[in-house]
Structure 1
Amino acid sequence: MSRRGAEPAEARPLFGGCWSCRLLSGAGLLLAALWVYRGPRGALRSGAPPSMAAIAQITLAAGLGAWAIVILADPVGRRRRPEP
């Protein structure tokens, strides 16, 4: 009987290590974050009090920006455990 569940999963790089795929999708997400952020920021600059929708849009833009940075940095599989 095989114990496949007991084996640790092998860490694969995000997008298979394709630099152009990571750059294109990361830049697209970053531009989307800037576009989403631009909407409520314009209303706040005019002196209007922030609404819940504006706060939700800014939070969404921050999440998109963070996702873009993770895709561009590709931290998956870079850290190795020290050998005992």
Structure 2
Amino acid sequence: MSTAPEAPVSTARQALKNCWSCRVISGGGLVLCGAYVFSAARKVMRQGGPTSMGTVAQITFAAGLAAWGIVVLMDPVGKSQRKT
């Protein structure tokens, strides 16, 4: 009964998980990008422009960027495993 060796984990991916400053910079950047995209969409709405599907798509995209940044900051991968 032979077992296949586990696939090696890339060092870049491992560094992002272990490097707090890398996660803060990349996650913070994503959150700030989401805030910028959201403010651009809000500026159009504040000027009295019609709320179009493009504006809704911008706000949705901004929420996705911010959520992705929060996930990078919190690093939930592997934390849900039960310790025995």
Short-chain TM bin: 0.7 to 0.9
TM-score by length of 2: 0.77
- For 2:82, the equivalent position in structure 1 comes to 81
What is the alpha-carbon distance in structure 1 between the residues aligned to residue 67 and residue 80 of structure 2? Answer: 20
After TM superposition, the structure 1 = structure 2 runs for residues 5-84 of structure 1, keeping only pairs within 5 Å, are 15-81=16-82, 83=84
- List gaps (5 residues or longer) in structure 1: none
Q: Aligned-pair distance for 1:53?
A: 1.0
TM-score by length of 1: 0.77
The answer to which structure, 1 or 2, has the higher relative contact order (CA under 8 A, 6+ apart) is: 1
Paired-residue identity, %: 49
Q: 1:49 to 1:34 in 2, by over 3 A?
A: same
- List gaps (5 residues or longer) in structure 2: none
What is the alpha-carbon distance in structure 1 between the residues aligned to residue 24 and residue 54 of structure 2? Answer: 30
How many residues are treated as equivalent by the alignment?
Answer: 79
Q: One-letter code of the match for 2:37?
A: V
Q: CA RMSD in A?
A: 2.5
- For 1:4, the equivalent position in structure 2 comes to 4
Task: Answer whether contact 2:17 2:23 (CA < 8 A) is retained.
Answer: no
Q: 1:44 to 1:22 in 2, by over 3 A?
A: same
Q: One-letter code of the match for 1:52?
A: M
